[in-house]
Amino acid sequence: MKKAVYLFMFSMVTLIGATIYSNKQFNNDGCDLSGKLVENSSSEVIDNALVTVSDNGKVIAQTTVKNDGSFAFKNLPNRLLSLSIENVAYTTVNKTINLVNANSFNFGNISLDTHVNILEEMIILVKR
């Protein structure tokens, strides 16, 4: 009888521990990430940029910046990720973000520098 009680108690503790571990590992809703893009010198809003989140080089989320300069991602994995911001008129920004143990992360304003590409020569071909 004593063995049965100990076995029952052991089973219950194991079950409770497994449930807590399972909820912690698999029911995590992930992290919400947001920010806003502005031009470095004028603080004007930048829109139409491409924001990419990747994990070890593999793209896991991507969005286009809204007209108000904002971007947002929901339910990103809680680990170390890479963020890339690209717009043809601005210098590309690459950041490493640590989302471990985070529910949400807001960059606030991210300033981008204007990217000037001076062409020495431009050839235009027209076919008729």
User: With contact defined as beta carbons under 8 Å apart, do 87 and 48 qualify?
Assistant: yes
| Average pLDDT over every residue of 78-97 | 93
Band of residue 115 on the pLDDT scale cut at 50, 70, 90: confident
Q: pLDDT, tens digit, for every residue of 60-71?
A: 999 999 999 999
Strand order in the sheet with 70-76: 70-76, 31-39, 104-112
pLDDT surpassing 60 at residue 106:
yes
Go through the domains of the chain in sequence order and give each one's CATH number: 30-112 (2.60.40.10)
Q: What pLDDT shows up at residue 55? A: 94
Instruction: List, in order, residues 6 or more apart from 51 with CB less than 8 Å away.
Output: 62, 63, 64, 65, 71, 83, 84, 85
Q: What is the DSSP letter of 49?
A: -
Report whether pLDDT(6) > 50.
no
pLDDT at 121: 83
Query: 13-50: per-residue pLDDT in tens?
Result: 454 554 454 444 444 578 999 999 999 989 899 998 99
